Amino acid sequence: MLTARSLFQEILDDDESYRLFCSIAAGGEAQGGWENGRIAALVPDSQRALAPKIARHGADEDKHGRIFRALMHRRGIEPVEVPPETDYTMILERRGIGLPHAVLRAEEPLTERDIVAYLAHSRVTEQRASEQMDMLTQHFGDHPEVGRAVRMICHDEANHLAYCHEELLRLAAAGHGRTIQALLRESALGEIDVYRDVSLAVMAHMGRILRWPRAKAAALTAGIHAVHAYERLGGWRRMVSLRMPERRDALGGPVTTAAEFA
């Protein structure tokens, strides 16, 4: 039976597919770390209190990248170049979701609206990341090779999502509510298209590596399109709601280390 667990187990068991999976994940996390680091450096004076939390977010993403690279090192495999059609973070940036890299490379302070846009984009993408890590933790949280990494990253992603909820609610109370809702909707509708396209590209590469039969590849493709259809019809709404999280000040402390994965 074709399930999320059996699919990931198949990817995990093969060195080439595992290398591609970890390389894609490591690249995306490293990119997220750079973006958050630049945003933290460019926060406007009106939001300076956010800078340490944004920096903590970036440090977590950098740590996740190191974890995925360490997982490859443990198995004795080297990272592979990430196919551009599977680069989720860069495709989001090219489609105008999040802050442009040209802005982040400059030395001009960001505006308060830029910070609102960053948090709205993060609230959407962290929803996706948190759901994916919850799924992996459910199926592989006790796995001897990847279980510890999966649990640590899952915990961090839940913190990131909680932080986005709390800070967006604070900014909504300060008068940014309409802007936040518009940006959340725009980001969510754009992200679900990117997620579909990247999922199809990743599955195509995995199918070639693992030599999936045509029927299996077709079933996975149909499943990806079905998820996208559900999200277009209304599933995207889960990405735009805001509620005060149980984890308050989730990024207020020091970053946990990844030394155990070195």
The DSSP annotation for 125-168 comes to HHHHHHHHHHHHHHHHTT-TTTHHHHHHHHHHHHHHHHHHHHHH
Q: How much is the average pLDDT of 154-169?
A: 97
Q: Using one digit for the tens of pLDDT, what is the confidence trace for 231-257?
A: 999 999 999 999 999 989 999 866 666
In the prediction, which pLDDT does 253 show? 65
Q: Using one digit for the tens of pLDDT, what is the confidence trace for 214-228?
A: 999 999 999 999 999
Q: Using one digit for the tens of pLDDT, what is the confidence trace for 75-122?
A: 999 999 999 999 999 999 999 898 999 999 999 999 999 999 999 999
Q: Using one digit for the tens of pLDDT, what is the confidence trace for 123-148?
A: 999 999 999 999 999 999 999 999 99
Query: Could you tell me the residue ranges of all domains in the chain?
Result: 4-261
CA 191 to chain centre: 11
Can you give the length of the chain in residues? Answer: 262
The fraction of the chain above a pLDDT of 70, given in percent, is 96
In the prediction, which pLDDT does 254 show? 63
Domain 4-261 class in CATH: mainly alpha
In the prediction, which pLDDT does 3 show? 87
Distance (Å, whole) CA 22 – CA 210:
16
The fraction of the chain above a pLDDT of 90, given in percent, is 92
The DSSP annotation for 199-221 comes to HHHHHHHHHHHHT--HHHHHHHH
